[in-house]
Amino acid sequence: MKYAVRTILDARAELAEGPFWDEEDQHLYWVNINAGEIHRCDPSPGTDTLVTAGQKVGAAVLDREGNFIAAGEKGFFRLSSEGGDSEEIASPETDNPDSRFNDGKCDPAGRFWAGTMSLSRTTGTAALYCLDEKGAVSRRVEGVTVSNGLAWDLKRSLMFYIDTPTKCVVAFSCNMENGEISSPRIAFSTPPELGSPDGMTIDDEGMLWIAFYRGACVARWNPENGEMIEQVGIPAPHVTSCCFGGKDRATLFVTTARQGMDPEGLRKYPEAGGIFAFEPGVSGAPGYRYRG
């Protein structure tokens, strides 16, 4: 099926990531990781404001008071929506100079999950962490290399997770009451020619939407049988993540990057690093605020 993919914001960001649609204020939030920026975008007029965090930011959500809860270079911190000094919550990776935090989001119970990545891509040296409602941080998955996409199924009994170099989506059994995960299994693998699986979300039919870095696309997958249902081209080679939002959460917002692109690539994809959107014909999961 052909979709009308449009540019929401010609941001030309080096590394746009972590799109988060807030149901309360109806805005799209996203981060420019290496610049240490947290952005607030109104998609209709395409306006965008930002605050700087003073460190790289892999992901950011809002808490109940409207402050940012973010995953930074080495840990979790709180930052006013107006900017200013940040407040450290926990820094579990200060002893690992080869890591920074990467993608993350809140589960339906309001816990903030975020993982790290090895800057040198050393296999198995990163991890996935959870910041619970009491402000305690625990390591939930070890042996990770580049922690990325997260999604929870409609019954809230499964958590889907991507460690990018594995090119697999892993399903964990999860207990939403206490946040415990167990029994990991490979739900499906993605073909190497599609690029590297990055950020992820889930629609209201239980299908996963995955952004493919170096793949210039997002693709929809059935996690029960591993079938790729459809592939949607994005006018940027490095597609980083996606989320549902807008009216009735019927729009898929897509973030991209322009890092590492040469002049020829930038001529071919001048809007790389922008924020894109299209209507996929299905609504999807909301963004959740941190409930700490």
User: Which residues sit in the known binding site for substrate?
Assistant: 100, 102
At 93 the pLDDT is 94
Using only C-alpha atoms, the chain has a radius of gyration, in whole angstroms, of 17
Contacts of 85 (CB under 8 A, 6+ apart): none
pLDDT, averaged across the chain:
97
Please determine, looking at this structure, whether the domain spanning 6-278 carries the CATH number 3.40.50.300. Answer: no
Domain ranges of the chain: 6-278
Q: pLDDT-derived band of residue 138, with 50, 70 and 90 as boundaries?
A: very high
pLDDT tens sequence across 20-35: 999 999 999 999 999 9
Residue 1 has pLDDT above 80, yes or no: no
Q: Find the distance separating the first CA and the last CA of the chain, reported in whole Å.
A: 42
Q: Find the length of the chain.
A: 292
Residue type, 55: Q
Contact between residue 28 and residue 43 where contact means Cβ atoms under 8 Å apart: yes
Written as one string, the DSSP assignment of 185-219 is: EEEEE--GGG-EEEEEEEBTTS-EEEEEETTTEEE
The arithmetic mean of pLDDT across residues 222-249, rounded, is 98
Token digits of residue 158: 């499964």
Query: Which of 198, 203, 204, 262 is an active site residue?
Result: 198
Catalytic residue check, 198: yes
User: Which residues sit in the known binding site for a divalent metal cation?
Assistant: 17, 148, 198
